[in-house]
Every structure is written in C-alpha cells, then in structure tokens.
Amino acid sequence: MDQLSAKQLRDKIRAGEINSVAATKAVFEQIAKIEPTIGAYISTFEESALDKAKEVDERIAKNEPVGELAGVPVAIKDNMCSDFGATTCASKILADFHAPYNATVVEKLLAADAVIVGKTNLDEFAMGSSTENSGLKQTVNPWDTSRVPGGSSGGSTAAVSAGLCFAALGSDTGGSIRQPASFCGVVGLKPTYGRISRFGLVAYGSSLDQIGPITRTVEDCALMMNVIAGHDEKDSTSISESVAPLCNYLEKLNEPISKLKIGIVPELNAGSDSEVLKAINGAIEVYKKLGAEIVEVQMPHFDYAISVYYVVATAEASSNLARYDGIHYGHRTENPADYVEVYTKSRAEGFGQEVKRRIMLGTYALSSGYYDAYYLKALKVRNLIRADFTKAFEKCNCIMMPVSPTTAFKIGEKTDDPLKMYLSDIYTIAANLAGVPSISIPCGFDKNNLPVGLQILSPAFSEDKLLRIARTYEKETDWHKKRPSIND
C-alpha cells in the first residue's frame, strides 16, 4: 500500500477496495518503525487521525459523498496554524504555542476529508536549507541518513519520501519546498504568489512566502492543488481570478503542451555539480525527443537574487518576528528584573542563532540611513529580476534549470558557514522574488544514489500548464517511482 500515490489510494478508498483506517494504521506502523531514525515529525495525531479515517470509511460504506482527499493520510509543516496540537515553527519560543484557529489550508484539507497524520519539522521559522536550524530536532534524509533532507520543509519531504504520509504541505520563501523535494526525490510545487491563502501560515517573509504541495507524483500535486488553491477573503494577497476550483488541475493534466518551447540559461549552469547537470540535461533531452524546442534566454539579474533575497526576506522577518516578545505569544523568561528584560531575555532564550542573525540583518537593512542603500535598492533589483522573467517568457513557455547545485549534503557540512548554506538556494530564490510558480520533479540520481531534481519555472498563474509540462516528463520516466531502501 505504501507504494501507492495519494490519488491511487484515494481512488481505492472511494471504491471501497482499501479502507482509510487500514491505510492510516499502515502509516502509523511505518512511523513506529522508522520515524525514530528519520525525525520527520514534531507531533503526530494517531487518535484523531484514526477517528477521521473511521468517519470517512463509514460515510463511504453508506454511499455518502466524500471529499477529494477522502481518507488519505497527509502531513503539514509545523508553521501552519492548527487548532489541534501545537504550532511550534520548530522554535523554542513557540514550543508550547497552541493556535486558536486553523490555517485556511488546514481547513481545506479537513474539508476534503484528508486524514492529518502530524506536523513536520522545519528550520526554525522556515529559515534555512537543511532543517538543521530546527530548534527542536534533527531530520535526516531517507536516502542516506548521514545527510540532510534539505530545508526548510525537510520534515515534510522526508515524510513523503519515507512513506510516513502520502502527501504533505510545505512553505517556500526562497526554495523551501523545491530544494528539499529535490534532495528527497519527491515532487514539490511553489505556486504563484497569491494562488494559495497564507492565512494561518506563520509569516517569515510575507511578500515571498507561499504554501505548496509535496507529493510522490505530479498527479498528486495537481490533486492537492485542487484542494488548497483559491481565493480567501482572510488573505488580502490571495488572488481571486481563474483559480481552482474554476480551473481543475487534474482534468487536463495528461494533455501534453503542443509546441512546447523550453528556455534554458546556459551561463547559470556553471556553478552546478557535473552529475546534477548530467541529470538535468538528460531530462531536457527527453522533452526534445518529444518535440520540444529549446531556446536560450537571458536572465541578466539572476546573479543578484541571493543578495536581494537576504535583504528583503530578513527585513520582512525582522518585522514579522517582532510579535514574539514574551507577552503576546510563546515563551516568557522567568523572573525578569523589569519589562525590558521580558522582551530581551524572552527573545534571547527563545530564538536560535540563525533567527537572531536574520533579525539583526533585517533590522539593520531597515534602519534609517541604510534603508535607501539596502532595502530600497533591493526592491529595485527585485523589479529587474521580475522583468527578466517577463522578457524570458516572451520567448518560451517555461524555463528549466537545476533546483540546487548539489545533491543532499552531509549533516554538519555547511552549518559553520551561513554563506555557503545560503548559496544552496541560488536557483530557487528568483521565483519567489518574481512571484512565479516553479516545480521540482525527480529526474535522476548521482553516483551516491542521491536524488536530483529538475526545476521548471513558468509564468505567473500558469500552474495548470506547469503541471502538464511536468507530467509529460513523469509519463516518460520512472524516477518518481523509486523509493529509498529504508522504506522496505
């Protein structure tokens, strides 16, 4: 059963061939067996999950209607609020925080009759590329447990890859869905900014954050998008036009895009490992054989993406994280001498090193005197990056490139050098700055049997086409069917 995709499982549950209680129990057996090694979850909800599964089974037995994810065990990243369990953001400052409401995406999953298995580990407040910045625990890569799962949604991608759930949600501010998806050999989609409600997603960089699906197949990704995409009046940045359910991502998924033009940016490949490039080029060859045309496009401002991101994201983070003051939320220091110490000591004790570094960087970039030199300048360059995409997409339907310059690295390999860690997002950050959708799909393995991800970017609000392009490749190849041996 753990070899099934979420959609296959859903179809079997709906048809009465498998019951959701059995599927959910199988997931919890797998959790009991390998979760102590993987460390994907911060919390699990066996009792409520089985209750929900039972309810779905009973409704199916009575021929009552059930939702799109009927009885499918799924996981959510622990930076999405839920009115059950804690919402920790993997931070000591929120370790005991219980949200009074559900994020819109959580409501939507429940309304679609998904079975929520648990909440997954992440880099604290989603700041990181390896999940090593979690203030609560370590997650390892199911393909090689001495390596990182990527980050910041490393818990979600490890859980999907290791069979600890059938699909999951992540959030992506600069690559946090796609990079760990590529490291763990699963599919990860960062939708267009505004496509999915951020209501109830704990904010890191609000103009960049976007929730998206992490799945075993492109088809599952489309299914999850059908459930979570759409306007939400609780999020003023969510977009109302032509989104699901008006547009059903599954309906036309298997129709290939005719006269597909793929943009490539040759100069960007220089920084990638040769084995990563080999896999990417191999994937592009598959499209070529199917009749796609390859065009070279220029992205002259791409090189500035990381610098721009670390000004914009840290500036927004410094503001967003001001609310953790020892009073409104979470951890409060014991026996403060005065009210200033309530703030300073609570924050000093609650936040980890990387979060503190970013708050300081962002506060500096926003301070009077430096605002124009850093923040405003970064916004201007952000516009140039956006314009690069607009221009490039005049010549092609999508752009393909690696997700990350390397495959999964060793635990501890980059923790002493934040800049090295920041560079692992060199290919993913531009999509967030421009707001365009981007997907990572499995496209091969390196010599250490570690998965490689192909990144495909497309114009804003074209997720339907992006998924079709990704699906075209999936139909031709078997990479997405490979599972780490830890699952056996």
Q: By CB under 6 A, name the binding residues for ligand GLN.
A: 126-129, 152, 172-176, 204, 313, 425
Least separation in angstroms between residue 363's CB and ligand GLN is: 16
In the DSSP assignment, the letter for residue 410 is B
- Minimum separation from the CB atom of position 431 to ligand GLN (A): 10
Q: Which tokens in the block code for residue 87?
A: 């919402």
Three-state secondary-structure class, residue 34: helix
**Structure token digits, residue 198:** 């951020």
Q: Closest Cα partner for 403 from 260, 267, 300, 276?
A: 276
31: enclosing H helix or E strand:
helix 20-38
Taking residue 364's Cβ as centre, other Cβ atoms within 10 Å add up to 17
Q: How far is the CB of 288 from ligand GLN (least distance, A)?
A: 31
Q: How far is the CB of 79 from ligand GLN (least distance, A)?
A: 9
Q: What six digits make up the tokens of 469?
A: 């392009």
Residue 175 or 405 with smaller CB distance to ligand GLN: 175
| Cβ count near 372 (within 10 Å) | 9
- Which residue's CB is nearer to ligand GLN, number 139 or number 152? 152
Contact 178, 283 (CB under 8 A): no
Residue 337 DSSP code: S
The beta-carbon contacts of 28-35 under 8 Å, at least 24 apart in sequence, are 28/117, 30/2, 30/162, 30/163, 30/164, 30/487, 31/117, 31/118, 31/164, 34/142, 34/162, 34/164, 34/486, 34/487, 35/164
Q: Which is nearer to ligand GLN, 183 or 473 (CB)?
A: 183
Closest residue to ligand GLN, based on beta-carbon distance? 176
Minimum CB separation of residue 168 from ligand GLN in Å reads 15
Structure tokens at 372: 């124009």
Strands 438-445 and 187-190: antiparallel
Element (H, E) at 190: strand 187-190
User: Min. distance of Cβ 153 from ligand GLN in angstroms?
Assistant: 8
Nearer to ligand GLN (CB atom), residue 126 or residue 257: 126
In the complex with ligand GLN, the residue whose CB is nearer, 89 or 164, is 89
> Closest distance between ligand GLN and the C-beta of residue 406, in Å?
14
- Cα–Cα distance list, 350 to 248, 355, 416 (Å): 43, 10, 21
Both tokens of 374, joined, read: 């850093």
Q: What are the residue numbers of the active site?
A: 77, 152, 176
* CA torsion through residues 263, 267, 271, 273, sign: positive
Report in angstroms how near the CB of residue 315 gets to ligand GLN at its nearest: 13
The nearer residue to ligand GLN, 28 or 375, going by C-beta atoms, is 375
Distances (CA, A) of 118 to 73, 99, 149, 381: 9, 15, 18, 39
Residue 451 tokens, joined: 């998965």
Decide whether 253 or 434 has the Cβ nearer to ligand GLN: 434
Kindly tell me which of 181 and 470 has the beta carbon lying closer to ligand GLN: 181
CA–CA separation, 207 vs 470, rounded Å?
26
Q: How many CB atoms lie within 10 A of CB 32?
A: 11
